Structure 1
Amino acid sequence: MNLINEEVTHKVFGEGNIVDHDESFITVDFNKDVKKFVYPDAFGKFITLNDRNVAETLKKVLLKRKMEEEALERKREEEKERQAFEQRRREKLKNPRISESSQIVFWLDEEEQQSVFNDWQVSTGKIQSGKNKGQLNRVARLRPNSAGLLTARESDQPEARRRILGLYMVNEMFSGNLSEDGMVPSHAEFRIELTDQEAEKMLFWNYYVNKNYPHRTTWNSGKFRYFDNVWTAQILKDIIALKTDEEQIKEAKNFLEYFCKMNVLDMENIPVANGALKQQ
């Protein structure tokens, strides 16, 4: 905003005229007595603009600037918290059997979308090419600490609109590298199904990010992907905030508590989601 030649009033020096202005300072001529002031700090404290319309415009500009600075500061604080969280997690993650990406996310076809919430198990599918074509996909990372995330998108929708339909903890006796039928069964207690309205608000790409290509929302093929433990905790936390039924909120909180215990996560210090959609 250009303030040069605007008339101002200073509490001590009286009437003056702005003769220079940059991002950090304004220079005011008080009848040949030239003074420099910090911009925008001086406004509202020592200096007022005489033109009310200009003053109101400046007020809006400064408010917008303040909001942008506060948002940037929040982002810095969130990043610091995330780094501190990761450091604590690495220090606590002493069990070598717990991978940092020991969760699984499934791409459900239409038939599975109808059946999964009755059977509460999902197939890992078969290998599509290579010398092992036709054999069952092994999900070696999955253990009792793992959760299965259930996602889908309509065929006419872009990948960025992939929705989270629900999730479950895997059966406490399950081990991915020992599975014989390619099915990933659920825990008897820790299961969450989202309504269609809730799923529309829970977009998968708000959480998932390819660290090599952080802005991409691409899933061209494959039945499943491994998923970060922290991202799953973020999803559970957001589901708790989304739910309105007290019993369902309680169930989701119990799920999150169990999940964090199994994955050595600090339930009280889960960082804010920062998936690919959040970075666009």
Structure 2
Amino acid sequence: MNLINKKVTHKHFGLGCIVKHNDSSIEINFASENKKFVFPDVFEKHLKLHDQNVAASLDMIIQKKEIERMEDERKKEEEKEIHRKNQELRLEHEKLMKSHKLHPESQMVFWCDNEEQYSSLSDWRVFSGEIKSGPNKGKPNKPIRLYRNSAVLLTSVDSSLPEKDRHILGVYMVDENFIGKLCEDGYIPAHSKYKLELTEQESNQMLFWKYYSNEKSPEKITWKSGKYRYFDNLWMAQILLDIVSLKNDTEEQELAQQFFNYYCKMNNISKQEIPKPNGTLIRN
């Protein structure tokens, strides 16, 4: 838009003529002197164009700029709100970190169906499932016992085989910043380093019920329902210790050993206090 030589009237300086302008400023020659103003803001309250056609076009530019300004303000407010919520979550996170007490059964075993056998090991995360009833029906389950000391055991059993043949597919520590109480989407991510996948041969040697037993029915081998169970911290230590001895590859064995050491440190467990496995398979 060319505004050079257009006549204007300013509320305080009177009649003038535009001598320069660009996208952000405008210069006007008044009777006594030249003055610079912010463009197009000055036209909103203080300056009036004499040419009505040009004034109409300028109004459209001003309106567009006002819309852009309001959009910028809205985005800034959204960013402030996001920042505020992130600050609240961070403070809550720090508070929980400081006050957390280790639960003696803060490990999770997860039932993988055919599809999850592959996705859980490729994505290194599992979904805790949805609440089946009540006011929160349909919302993701919160794995409230899981904390940075927790590991997730991935297991599976062929539908044609009995439950006693459930075997371990792999295991991972949860992300070091994960807190189950704050988990809103139900996904439980893995630690960046501590995650182990078993070969088919290794998996067949790692039967879950060798380590695990139902507290209420210790003689029975039955899963019943649900995608996961919490279980004893010492049982997970037994499993990790056996995986270390199972691994033949030097690098994998070293990682398994580091995993085991890290797990014991996070759960205040010494190797000497870990009992022999005594799950339902052994008891029977």
TM-score by length of 1: 0.64
1:258 to 250, 257, 262: 262
Q: Which of 191-200 and 239-248 deviates more?
A: 239-248
For the pair 1:196 / 2:200, whether they are aligned, the reply is yes
Q: Secondary structure at the match of 1:259?
A: helix
For the pair 1:212 / 2:213, whether they are aligned, the reply is no
Distance in 2 (alpha carbons) for counterparts of 1:132 and 1:217 = 31
Distance in 2 (alpha carbons) for counterparts of 1:131 and 1:219 = 26
Q: Deviation at 1:132?
A: 2.8
Point out where structure 1 has 5 or more consecutive residues left out of the alignment.
1-94
Larger Rg: 2
The residue type paired with residue 157 of structure 2 is R
The residue type paired with residue 158 of structure 2 is E
Q: Deviation at 1:246?
A: 1.4
Q: Is the CA contact 1:256–1:267 (under 8 Å) kept in the aligned structure 2?
A: no
Misfit runs of 4+, over 3 Å: none
Counterpart position of 2:173? 169
Distance in 1 (alpha carbons) for counterparts of 2:112 and 2:190 = 16
Q: Which of 207-216 and 233-242 deviates more?
A: 207-216
Q: RMSD of the alignment, in Å?
A: 1.2
The residue type paired with residue 216 of structure 2 is N
The residue type paired with residue 122 of structure 1 is V
Q: Deviation at 1:129?
A: 2.9
Distance in 2 (alpha carbons) for counterparts of 1:207 and 1:96 = 27
Counterpart position of 1:73? none
The residue type paired with residue 250 of structure 1 is E
For the pair 1:143 / 2:147, whether they are aligned, the reply is yes
Q: Deviation at 1:268?
A: 3.1
Deviation track 1:194-246 (CA, whole Å, cap 9, x = no partner) reads 01111111001001112332111110110111011000000001111111111
Q: Percent identity?
A: 51
Query: Aligned runs of 1:21-170 on 2, under 5 Å?
Result: 97-170=101-174
The residue type paired with residue 180 of structure 1 is E
Counterpart position of 1:66? none
Q: Secondary structure at the match of 2:272?
A: helix
1:229 to 228, 233, 250: 233
Deviation track 1:25-49 (CA, whole Å, cap 9, x = no partner) reads xxxxxxxxxxxxxxxxxxxxxxxxx
TM-score by length of 2: 0.64
Deviation track 1:34-86 (CA, whole Å, cap 9, x = no partner) reads xxxxxxxxxxxxxxxxxxxxxxxxxxxxxxxxxxxxxxxxxxxxxxxxxxxxx
Counterpart position of 1:181? 185
Distance in 2 (alpha carbons) for counterparts of 1:278 and 1:96 = 34
Distance in 1 (alpha carbons) for counterparts of 2:125 and 2:100 = 27
For the pair 1:245 / 2:262, whether they are aligned, the reply is no
How many residues in Structure 1 have an aligned counterpart in Structure 2?
186
The residue type paired with residue 109 of structure 1 is D
Q: Secondary structure at the match of 1:225?
A: strand
